[in-house]
Amino acid sequence: MSIPIGKVRTRYAPSPTGYLHVGGAWMAFFNWLFARNQGGTFILRVEDTDRSRSTEEYERAILEDFRWLGIDWDEGPDKGGPVGPYRQTERFHLYRQYAQALLDRGAAYHCYCTLEELEAERQRARAAKRPYRYSGRCRNLTPEQRAEFERQGRRPTIRLRVHDDGETIVVNDLVRGRVEFDPEHLDDYIIVRSDGSPLYNFANVVDDHTMAMTHVIRGIEHLSNTPKQWIMYRSLGWDPPQVAHLSNILGTDHKKLSKRTGDTAVRDYKRAGFLPEALVNFFALMAWYPEENREIYSVREMIEKFRLEDLGKASPVFDMTKLTWMNGVYMRELLRRDPDRAVEACLEPLRNAGLLDGQVTAETRAYIRQVVDVLGDRIKVGRDILTYGDFFFTDAVTYEPDAVKKYFSRKDVATTLAQLRERVAKVDRLDATTVESIVRTMASELRIESREIIHPARVALTGKTAGPGLFELTALLGRDRVIKRLDSAIDWIRRLP
């Protein structure tokens, strides 16, 4: 086991009970950024002690989502490392060992109180309107008393003896500053269940120490737990890591981020066609602004500029609208530099909409590439290929009610479209310039505005009022499809009451 002295080590510890949550990814991102900025090590540790809800499937999915985000780890369950294993269920021997150490030095003790007895204590405290603290009944049991409880078949838990010297516990939080806790409000808490399994506050301390973590960036919900953990560090004779507590991301309703106000899994964003670099850039802007008056940063820049002290304390709201804008910025960049990746982001949405199935052939890919070119910067997120260009993938064009009302209601529309159809039928190759000249000359011959042809034609071809330029989309659709769609539209309009 070799861990470089003085090197920063951070970690993220997901529970494999679901897909990677954006809140978790956000938290992991800052741990990762800090480690990378410091030339340190970033570790993934799987907290799978909740055996009923944890699955290997989720663990794999979480690692996959991290990879997709571009957040890599130096040590973890899949690749091992000097302080493994990296799954808590595989570290029980360590928890047992340190629980015993605590017991041996009298810093912890067996507690034989039953759930019912504890509940009764709690009730009494509530009835008397006193803050509840464990009574400490089992603090100083004699061997005889213990033997008696054992005889009764009671299985003990292990409690940590909170120091009763009354000394204030100081947490020097890297983002919040000095926070003081009066141990008066703490009580001896359970670190090992009666079935022998470790509780979070215990396993966490053992893991963070044995894994040699130097800095722990975690959610604000852990700040109140910190003094308890500090006591344990002291009891074990260990130095605690540096900590930084970040407020949690909120939904637009200012409540904890939930499905109600938007997608919560990183995977959902991937499926919708968001770009990992945009997501990560967006993450950074919640609680951290590298510098004034700028919001677009490459990962490289973020790593360079990251400073723990610059992290904000308030709870940010996850603003989907801004994320979408930011994704658009990256998408536009991709359209110029690496259109194939833009195409990639459109694949999932197309599949989910049932407009694409099976293996994507090179030919299909090339076609999608053309669609993406035509749609251009209208695609802010992969799924926009559907909102603006579904008609490129299906002949079943449905006319939007508003579009019908606006452009199909005029008397002579069918005639105009029929005219256009005839003129289109006369050429054998349709390209954008050809269509444009057809439309323009037709307009001047009929002494009407080009838009009087363009708008109805767009609806006929796409079903929509908004979308790419008519000439470009017509060219991509090709003569045959255009004629067919013009025919059906004319037919459709003539059947109107």
Partner RNA sequence: GGCCCCAUCGUCUAGCCCGGCCUAGGACGCGGCCCUCUCAAGGCCGAGACAGGGGUUCGAAUCCCCUUGGGGCUACCA
Scanning residues 369 to 428, which ones bind RNA (CB under 7 A)?
376-378, 380, 388
Q: Are 90 and 54 a contacting pair, CB within 8 Å?
A: no
The stretch among 75-83, 89-97, 262-270, 322-330 that binds RNA (CB under 7 A) is: 322-330
Helix (H, G, I), strand (E, B) or coil at 424: helix
Give the x-and-dash track for 109-128 against RNA (CB under 7 A): ----xxx--x---x------
Least Å distance, CB 291 to RNA, is 8
For residue 462, which of 402, 413, 395, 416 has the smallest C-alpha distance? Answer: 395
Least Å distance, CB 361 to RNA, is 29
Q: What is the largest CA-CA distance in the chain?
A: 110
259 among annotated binding-site residues:
yes
Residue whose CB is less far from RNA, 38 or 252: 252
- State how beta strands 9-12 and 41-44 pair: parallel
Examine the residue annotation and report whether 270 is marked as an active-site residue of this protein: no
Helix (H) or strand (E) holding 432: helix 432-446
DSSP secondary structure letters along 175-229: TTEEEEE-GGG----EEE-TTSPBPHHHHHHHHHHHTT-SEEEEEGGGTTTHHHH
* 295 touches RNA (CB under 7 A): yes
Q: Is the dihedral of CA 244, 248, 249, 253 positive or negative?
A: negative
Residue whose CB is less far from RNA, 33 or 40: 33
* 315 touches RNA (CB under 7 A): yes
Residue whose CB is less far from RNA, 84 or 376: 376
Name the catalytic one among 7, 256, 259, 313: 259
Give the x-and-dash track for 22-51 against RNA (CB under 7 A): -------------------------x-xx-
Please give the residues from 150 up to 209 whose contact with RNA meets the rule CB under 7 A. 157, 176-177, 179-182, 185, 189-190, 193-195, 199-201
Residue whose CB is less far from RNA, 66 or 330: 330
* 224 touches RNA (CB under 7 A): yes
Amino acid at 109: Y
- Residue 307 and residue 34: Cα distance in Å, rounded? 7
For residue 174, which of 43, 292, 307, 35 has the smallest C-alpha distance? Answer: 307
Quick count: other Cβ atoms within 10 Å of Cβ 347? 17
In the list 94, 101, 308, 317, the residue contacting RNA (rule: CB under 7 A) is 317
Residue whose CB is less far from RNA, 69 or 381: 381
Residues 6+ apart with CB under 8 A from 62: 14, 16, 19, 20
Residue whose CB is less far from RNA, 193 or 305: 193
Please give the residues from 438 up to 457 whose contact with RNA meets the rule CB under 7 A. 450-451, 454-455
Least Å distance, CB 382 to RNA, is 14
* 319 touches RNA (CB under 7 A): yes
Token reading at 449: 């505005």
* 261 touches RNA (CB under 7 A): no
* 210 touches RNA (CB under 7 A): no
The stretch among 29-37, 136-144, 252-260, 350-358 that binds RNA (CB under 7 A) is: 252-260
Count of alpha carbons within 13 angstroms of residue 412, beta-carbon side: 7
Least Å distance, CB 353 to RNA, is 19
Q: Are 450 and 439 a contacting pair, CB within 8 Å?
A: yes
Q: Which residues are documented as binding site for ATP? A: 259
Cite the active site residues.
259
